[in-house]
Each structure stands twice: as structure tokens, then as C-alpha cells.
Amino acid sequence: MFSPSHFTAVLLFGLFASTVFGITQRETPQRMFRYGLYCFCLFVGSAIVLSWVMYLIAR
Amino acid sequence: MSSTPNKPVPAAPAQHGFVFLPLIAGWLIPGAGHFLLRKWGRGALLAISIVCMFAIGLAMQGKLYANAHDILEMLSLLGDLGSGLLYVVGRVMGLGPDSAQLTVADWGTRFIVVAGLLNVISAVDAHNIRTGRKS
């Protein structure tokens, strides 16, 4: 059984989802790459921010 | 008063065949819609992303929904069906447990559902390329 950490799961999820978003939502390869990178940063960044918010709420 | 002549609009390249073929092929097999339209790079990246996400979900002991008892299960089943033949093969081979017991298995279930939804997005993208809405 593959049992990644929560953060690794977020990285994998963000990588695959942002790849599909980038290819399907933009027209040119350069804009696809930039939009995919933007989505990936949003996925990972929002996960980190929400994790800290939940940590501070739980204290 | 001078009038500028209208430039003739270049005709779109003629495409023959069933217009919904890339949509259906892309739904059944991830990336196949783009392959039919000779978008090899895009199709390969989409296929790798969706198949890997589905396979990782199964490797995490994610659940494949077979029936729906409430609205959330119905939505998850619809997401699973978006994977097309991947879902059918998974069900026929009996992959995935009946219920997700571990936290990791719950994440795996979400991976499988989202892989199906991403496959629907990529199939619609192939249809948009086929109809000329996107290049």
C-alpha cells in the first residue's frame, strides 16, 4: 500500500491537477506552463496557509 | 467616402467525421481525444496525469464507488464514472476496498474521483479543439 505523508499527497494532487488545468485552460505552450505553475503554487500555498490557520485555531 | 474592402475570412480546415468522436474517445481513454486530433504532447501529458492520479488513488487503497446511498455518494460515483474505461477495468478486476478505513484510503478515494473529473475536463477540451473553439 502506498502511504504518503499529507504534504506529499498535496504535492502529487497539485502536480497532476495543475498539469490538466494548464493544458486545458490556455492556448499556447508558454501560457499553459505559466498557468499550470500558478495553479500548482496556489494548491500548495493554500494548503500550507490553511494548515497553519487550523494549527493556530486548535491551540 | 472610401470603403475598405472586407478581407476574406480564411476557411477553417475541413474536418470530416463524427464531431463528438474526440469527446467520447477522450472520456473512454484519457488523452485519446487529443491523440485523435494529433495533439501528441498535450495528449501524453493529460494521459500521464490522469492515469497516474487514478493509479495512485488505487495504490492508496482508495474506494471505487459502485452504488450511491446518498447525494454525496452519488456525486462521487459520477466523478468515478468520468474516468471511463479506467473505472470499468477497476470494477471488473475488483480493485479498491468496499469502504475506506484509513485516512490515506480516504485521500485515495478523492484522488480517484478527481482523476475522473479531470478526465471530463480534458475530453471537453478535445471537443473544443475539434469544433474550432480552441486551437
Residue B91 touches partner A, C-beta closer than 8 Å? no
Domain boundaries, chain B: 21-131
Mean pLDDT of B42-48: 97
Average pLDDT over residues B52-71: 92
Residue A4, chain B, CB below 8 Å: the answer is: yes
Position A44 in a domain: yes
What is the spatial distance between Cα B135 and Cα B129, in angstroms, rounded to a whole number? 6
How far is the C-alpha of A16 from the C-alpha of B45, rounded, in Å?
Answer: 9
Q: What is the DSSP letter of A2?
A: -
Q: Please indicate if any CB of chain A lies within 8 Å of the CB of B44.
A: no
Residue A30, in any domain of the structure: yes
With contact defined as beta carbons under 8 Å apart, do B79 and B121 qualify? no
> How confident is residue B5, by pLDDT bands cut at 50, 70 and 90?
low
Query: What mean pLDDT is predicted for residues B52-63?
Result: 95
pLDDT bucket at B1, cuts 50 / 70 / 90: very low
> CA angle, corner B58, sides to B74 and A49, nearest 5?
80
A23 lies in which domain range? 6-58
Residue A1 lies in a domain: no
Note the residue count of chain B.
135
B34 pLDDT higher than 50: yes
- Give chain A's domain count: 1
CB-CB: which of A6, A20, A27 is closest to B46? A20
> CA B73 to CA B78: how far, in whole Å?
9
A12 within domain boundaries: yes
Of the pLDDT bands very low, low, confident and very high (cuts 50, 70, 90), residue B37 is very high
Which residues on B lie below 8 Å from A14 (Cβ)?
Answer: none
Could you read off the pLDDT of A3-34 as tens digits, one per residue? 899 999 999 999 999 999 999 999 999 999 99
The residue of chain A nearest to residue B116, with distances taken between CA atoms, is A17
For B9-51, the DSSP string reads PPPPPP--S-TTHHHHHHHHSTTHHHHHTT-HHHHHHHHHHHH
Mean pLDDT of B108-124: 96
Per-residue confidence (pLDDT) for residue B15, from 0 to 100 = 64
- CA-closest candidate to residue B83, choices B30, B13, B18: B30
Position B12 pLDDT exceeds 90:
no
The 10s digit of each residue's pLDDT in B23-33 is: 999 999 999 99
Burial tier of B6 (Cβ tally within 10 Å: 0-12, 13-18, 19+): exposed
Looking at the partner chain, which of B49, B61, B107 has a beta carbon nearest the beta carbon of A20?
A: B49
Residues 98-117 on B with a CB inside 8 Å of A are 104, 107, 111, 114-115
Taking CB atoms and an 8 Å limit, are B122 and A17 in contact across chains?
no
Q: Is residue A26 part of a domain?
A: yes
Among the partner-chain residues B107, B115, B121, the one whose CB lies closest to the CB of A9 is: B107
Option in A1, A19, A20 nearest B61 (CB): A1
pLDDT at position B98 is 78
pTM: 0.88
Please give the residue that has the higher pLDDT: either B102 or A57: A57
Coil, helix or strand for B4?
Answer: coil
* pLDDT-based confidence at residue B11 (cuts at 50, 70, 90): very low
